[in-house]
Amino acid sequence: MQQPEFLNVEASFSPEGLKVEIIEGLNNANACISPKFLYDNLGSHLFTAITHLPEYYPTRTEQHIFQAYQAEIAQALGENTCLIDLGAGNCQKAESLFGALKPADYVAIDFSVQYLQDVLPKLQSNFPAIKMMGLGMDFSSHLSLPSTLPAIKRNFFYPGSSLGNFSPAQAAHLLQQIKMNSEGGGLLLGVDLMKADNVLLQAYDDPLKLTAAFNLNILRVVNGLIGSNFEVTDFRHTITINHTLQRVELYLQALRDVTVSWEGGRRDFKTGELIHTENSHKYSIKSIQELLSAAGFGHFQTWSDPNHYFALIYAQ
C-alpha cells in the first residue's frame, strides 16, 4: 500500500523570518500576533475540539450543507481531480467528500506539518487508491505547490471560515494565487455570513472556554519561537464584534502590568492592554462574489443553510 508523502516548504518556515515577524508585531503600537501561530500541534487539537461545541455553528452548519447538496457539489467539481485542502487540519471535512468526489490525488496543506503526520497515514490506509501528500506551508504569504503534482484539473478546498482571517487585500492576493494554480479547476470555499451578535458571542467566547484556551496557547507558541517569557495567566481571552468592518476580532488582554522580554528586546503591557490575534471577517453572498470576481473567478455555484448562517461557493 502506498504511503503519504510529506514535504515542508522551507521558505515558509525560516525560523529567523518567523521570529522577525513575531517581534515586529509585538513592537507595534497596537501589539499583534498573526493567527497562523494559533495552529501548532496543540492549537490544532484545541480547534478540533472547538468544532464539536454546540455554540460553534460553522462546522455543523457547513456539514449540513455538504450532506444536503453532496450530489450537486460533486457534479460541479467533477471526479478524478487533484483535491488541494488548504488548512487541512484533521482532514475530516475533505474525507467526508471523498466518496462523492473520488479525487485521484489529495494534497493536505497545513501550517503544522507535524499534525498532518499524525492524521494523514490513517486517512491513506482508509483510501488506498488516492495518492496523498502532506504539505507544511504558510500559504498566507505565498502559495507554492511542488512541481511533482500531476498537471490535472485542481480543485482547491478551503472550508470553514478561514478566509475571513485575512484582510480584504490579503484575501484577494490568496484567491488570485489559487486561480493561477487551478489548472482549469476551481475553489470550493466556505464563508461565514454576518449574523446576530448573540450567536457570534457564543461561538467565539464559549462557556466551556475552549476558545480561550486556543487563543491563549498562542503565547506558548511565541515563547517557543522567540524565547520570550509570556505567562498565560497574565492574560485573558476577549472578543469584539466590529460592525463597521463586518468582523469578529480576537484579543488577549493583560490582567495586570507585565513586562515580556526576549533576546534583544522587551515589551511592557499595561493592565487592560490588548494583543490582537485574529480577525474573522463575515460576508454576504454579494460581497464574497465581488471578491472572487476581482481575483479572476467568473462562474459561481452557491449553497447555503435555511438560516443563512453559512455558505459554500464553488468558483471557477
Residue 271 exposed, middle or buried by CB count within 10 Å (0-12, 13-18, 19+): exposed
Look at residue 192 in the predicted model and tell me its pLDDT: 97
Q: Is 119 exposed, middle or buried (0-12, 13-18, 19+ CB in 10 A)?
A: buried
Q: CA-CA-CA-CA torsion for 211, 111, 164, 174, nearest 10 degrees? A: 180
- 144 pLDDT band, cuts 50/70/90, is confident
pLDDT given at position 15? 80
What Cα–Cα distance (Å) separates residue 260 from each residue in 2, 153, 175, 229? Answer: 48, 49, 37, 6
Nearest-CA neighbor of 140 among 12, 277, 279?
12
Q: Which CATH number fits domain 54-194+282-315: 3.40.50.150, 3.40.50.300, 3.40.718.10, 3.40.50.10800?
A: 3.40.50.150
At residue 247, what are phi and psi to the nearest 5 degrees? -155, 160
Mean pLDDT on 162-189: 94
Q: Mean pLDDT over residues 119-128, rounded?
A: 94
Can you give the pLDDT at residue 114? Answer: 82
d(CA 204, CA 239): 7
Query: Which pLDDT score is estimated for 7?
Result: 84
**Residue 110, Cβ density class (10 Å: 0-12 exposed, 13-18 middle, ≥19 buried):** buried
Q: Give dist(CA 238, CA 105) in Å, integer.
A: 40
What is residue 190's predicted lDDT score, i.e. its pLDDT? Answer: 97
Q: Are 174 and 143 in contact (CB under 8 A)?
A: yes
- Write the pLDDT tens digit of every residue in 4-23: 988 886 555 678 888 999 99
Mean pLDDT over residues 162-168, rounded?
92
Mean pLDDT of 88-92: 90
Question: Mean per-residue pLDDT for 192-196?
Answer: 95
Express as a percent the part of the chain with pLDDT over 70. 98
Distance CA(301)–CA(20), nearest Å, equals 41
Could you tell me the pTM of the whole model?
A: 0.88
> Residue 267's pLDDT band (boundaries 50, 70, 90)?
very high
What whole-number distance in Å separates Cα of residue 295 and Cα of residue 16? Answer: 31
Q: Is the pLDDT of residue 201 over 60?
A: yes
Which residues of the chain form CATH 3.40.50.150? 54-194+282-315
Separation between Cα atoms, residue 164 and residue 141, nearest integer Å: 15
Task: Give CA torsion, residues 172, 167, 57, 193, to 10 deg.
Answer: -60
Contact 109, 87 (CB under 8 A): yes
Average predicted confidence (pLDDT) for the chain: 94
pLDDT reported for residue 11: 52
What pLDDT was estimated at residue 13?
61
